[in-house]
Amino acid sequence: MTIDQARRAAPTLEAVAAAAGVSRSTVSRVVNGGAQVKPDVVASVNAAIESLGYIPNRAARSLARRRSMAIALVVPEETTRFFGDPYFAEIVRGITTALDDSEYVLVLQLASASGPSANSIRYLLGGNVDGALVVSHHSSDTSLTRLGASLPVVFNGRPLAPTDPPSYFVDVDNAAGAEAATDHLISLGRRRIAIIAGPEDMPPGIDRTTGWRRALQRASLTTDLIVHGDFSQAGGATAMRQLLAADPSIDGVFAASDLMASGAMSVLRDRGIGIPHEVAVVGFDDSRAATSGSIQLTTVHQPSALAGETMAKMLIALLRGEQVEHERILPTRLVVRDSA
């Protein structure tokens, strides 16, 4: 359909009813599906809809249904951070993919990292949206988990601690991913395997450390080589220097993010330490950073677009009044490249 065709004066349900020779109620039933309408009536109504180019008026529909048919995308992050992060890009892509097939529109609500403004909260709770998707690295903010008490909300990533009422969220299996990464290092014969962990107050940081520890313990290896970074490249470099100072015999490193892995590798290279033969490195994320350096990074892939899609579908199910599990954990996958 071209723009020119869509431009005609908007026909109403009333016009369709007149054209099809039925009542407005019947047209409404056909448009919304489900209800019992005789097949030939359905056909003639659809023909009228088609020939008139009828599109339901959202405002009228919302008013009558007492639902806005809108979903908020709440982003409690600095704008530049949000837009600079491919992880968010993938999640949003997944969300829009799922929503394109629905009757819902996505309303963008940027917020500061400290949470949505009073204005935003008024908006969100003022009946302007039927539900919200919160995408952030700070999903566990109090002001946001509270939102879940008044409005159907789905978060990306588990909350730091269980909330009351329990939140709905989609997460990736960070622990299993980290475990697979560490298992891979072990299978390579590495015995002194360090972790450059994430922050201790962020669920992905915590869970990835858990997985690393689990793998080492199963292999009866020690879990003493742990340093925390902030998920950034600079943080990874600093952490690598600390690890090397603590124990020069390290032969494997699992970094809880690709960026930290990349920082660690630059330190190893500067010291002339061979990757992977002397020290093997595995990252996490499978982001662009994994393949943009001179050494292709072995890393844990997380299905971010799928996570976004799953979040949207979960929310829609919730809005339909269906029974929905509070958490949905998606699998990760180890991608073996050159660094380990």
Contact stretch for a copy of itself (CB under 8 A) within 78-86, 182-190, 241-249, 332-340: 78-86
Q: Is the peptide bond before 39 cis (omega within 30 degrees of 0)?
A: no
Report the candidate in 335, 315, 340 with the shortest Cα–Cα distance to residue 325. 315
Burial class (CB in 10 A: 0-12, 13-18, 19+), 290: buried
**What, of a copy of itself, DNA, none, does residue 337 touch, CB below 5 to 8 Å by kind?**
none
Closest distance between DNA and the C-beta of residue 283, in Å?
49
Choosing from 52, 93, 173, 214, the residue that interacts with a copy of itself (CB under 8 A) is 93
Hey, how many other C-beta atoms are within 10 angstroms of the C-beta on 289? 20
Q: By C-beta, is 51 or 292 nearer to DNA?
A: 51
The letter for the amino acid at 106 is L
Closest distance between DNA and the C-beta of residue 258, in Å?
47
Closest distance between a copy of itself and the C-beta of residue 143, in Å?
7
Give every CB contact of residue 312 below 8 A, 6+ residues apart in sequence: 71, 94, 95, 97, 98, 99, 102, 133, 154
CA 265 to chain centre: 28
Residue 1 in contact with a copy of itself, rule: CB under 8 A: yes
Residue 55 in contact with a copy of itself, rule: CB under 8 A: yes
**What, of DNA, a copy of itself, none, does residue 3 touch, CB below 5 to 8 Å by kind?**
a copy of itself
CA pair distance 81, 79, nearest whole angstrom: 5
Place of tokens 């994430």: 198
Residue 161 in contact with a copy of itself, rule: CB under 8 A: no
Q: By C-beta, is 66 or 277 nearer to DNA?
A: 66
Q: Kindly list the residues in this chain that would bind a copy of itself in the complex (CB under 8 A).
A: 1-4, 6-8, 10, 55, 57-60, 62-63, 66, 68, 70, 73, 79-80, 82-86, 88-90, 92-93, 96, 100, 105-108, 110, 118-119, 121-123, 125-128, 143, 146-147, 149-152, 288
